[in-house]
Amino acid sequence: QVQLVESGGGLVQAGGSLKLSCAASGRTFSSYVMGWFRQAPGKERQFVSAISRNRGTTRYADSVKGRFTISRDNAKNTVYLIMNSLKPEDTAVYYCAADPNDSDNLRSLSWEYDYWGRGTQVTVSS
């Protein structure tokens, strides 16, 4: 089991940047595929990005490709999401999630992830 705590959210103007962090507890962090999702008010939770266990592969939603970068530091039990060129439509609560996936398949459906943090609010003003 793993516990996840997100941080780094806040209020930023359009075009600005933020770096989200997700700290994981437990000694098995490196055995999880890690993902970021987001949920805006009145909308379904949406896939943002995922990274394989050994950082070899990444996946992004089309809406954030070229602007967001996911990374992880297994020694620090932390996954990051660097968000550049932020837009008002990026406003949402951002969640990190862990998928105990032996195949390293970077999945994009929220129900495929077993563990979730409580989220961090990102607000982008126009």
pLDDT of residue 55: 74
Question: Which residues in 66-87 are b (16+ Cβ under 10 Å) and which e?
Answer: eebbbebebeebbbbbebeebe
Q: Which residue has the tokens 């929220």?
A: 110
From first to last of the 126 residues of the chain, give the pLDDT tens digit: 899 999 999 999 999 999 999 999 977 899 999 999 999 999 999 999 999 998 789 999 999 999 999 999 999 999 999 999 999 999 999 999 999 988 888 999 999 999 999 999 999 999
Q: Are strands 10-13 and 120-125 parallel, antiparallel or unpaired?
A: parallel
Of the candidates 116, 97, 93, the one whose C-alpha atom is nearest the C-alpha of residue 108 is: 97
